[in-house]
Amino acid sequence: MSEVLTDSAHLGDFSAVFATPAKDGPPTHLHSHVARILQGTVGIPETGGMYRIAIEDVSAWTVGDFSYSDH
């Protein structure tokens, strides 16, 4: 996660959070804004939403503008 954020013009400042261990341990959750959950060809919701997701529950992810179509 830290390497992906480092390369981002908008999110680069947050990369250190994932590279430096916190006093209470590493981060346990991701907080996403304007995000879509993709399951097969379905994106929920279409406009994106705000989510707090436990890192241990994430099986795959992508960063950036990701398009999909069910047509």
d(CA 71, CA 54): 32
Res 52: pLDDT: 86
Res 67: pLDDT: 61
Q: With H, G, I as helix, E, B as strand and everything else as coil, classify residue 3.
A: helix
d(CA 13, CA 54): 22
* Burial degree of 38 (CB within 10 A; 0-12, 13-18, 19+): middle
Q: pTM of whole model > 0.85?
A: no
Q: Could you give the residue ranges of the DSSP H alpha helices within 7-53?
A: 15-19
d(CA 22, CA 19): 9
10-60 per-position pLDDT tens digit: 878 878 877 767 677 777 888 887 777 777 777 676 666 788 889 888 887
